[in-house]
Amino acid sequence: MAEVSHRQGPVGRHPGWPARLGPLHVGAGVLEVRKPRLSDASAWSRIRRRDRRHLETWEPTTPGDWDTNNAALAWPGQWSTLRALARRGMSLPFVITVDGQLAGQVTVGNVVRGSLCSAWIGYWVGTHAVGGGVATAAAALVVVHSFVAAGLPRRVATVRPENAPSIRVLTKLGFREEGLFRRYLDVAGMWRDHLCFALTTEDIPNGLVSRLVAEGHASHV
């Protein structure tokens, strides 16, 4: 089922992280997914602050001012937290690059092992990369990787019913709608309903990335 390069980090790290996934060619350019770096601060901040109106509508409300929370000086703390969670096996955080430039983030979070063995997936993409197949391809790479390398056979995603672009990404990947969570998250200052979508390994027996390639949404580089 492994369809792309899964270049693992040093032995002894948590299964599935760190890793570098891709490359795939999509409409926006050559896409790769890799672990976050401390040096991503300026690019991350520039996109986040520029695209406030695009992102703030869909992201959970956080205390403080948007510009302060997304300043370059805020990145080291976030980067450190992401790395710590990954090393404890609680998350698989990645950044998305297109033609070598940062374009967004995709994260597998709230990793639960044992009898549940599940996790959620979330992502955001800057406006300069919207519509180029970036979110779909990046999510596909990470979903397959988390199934294969991280051994997590079920992915869950929640999305506001009004977020049509994100719903299109999930349905294109084969996620099925499983229900509605009432007043699930505080987003943009209000408690919002969210649809719940899920995908398991049995849903994509022939491989998710291979399907995207076969349908013409991406190609191997």
Task: Please give the mean pLDDT across all residues of the chain.
Answer: 91
3-class state of residue 185 by DSSP: strand
CATH number for the domain spanning 141: value is 3.40.630.30
Q: Answer whether residue 130 shows pLDDT above 50.
A: yes
Query: Whole-angstrom Cα distance, residue 11 to residue 108?
Result: 21
Query: Whole-angstrom Cα distance, residue 100 to residue 89?
Result: 27
Q: Answer whether residue 106 shows pLDDT above 90.
A: yes
- Per-residue pLDDT, averaged over 138-165, amounts to 94
pLDDT level of residue 11 (50, 70, 90 thresholds): very low
Q: What is the pLDDT of residue 47?
A: 98
Q: Answer whether residue 5 shows pLDDT above 80.
A: no
Q: What is the pLDDT of residue 211?
A: 86
Domain count, the chain: 1
For the segment 14-65, what is each residue's pLDDT rounded down to a tens digit?
789 999 999 999 999 999 999 999 999 999 999 999 999 999 999 999 999 9
Q: Using CB atoms within 10 A of its CB, is residue 179 exposed (0-12), middle (13-18) or buried (19+)?
A: exposed
Range of the domain at 48: 5-220
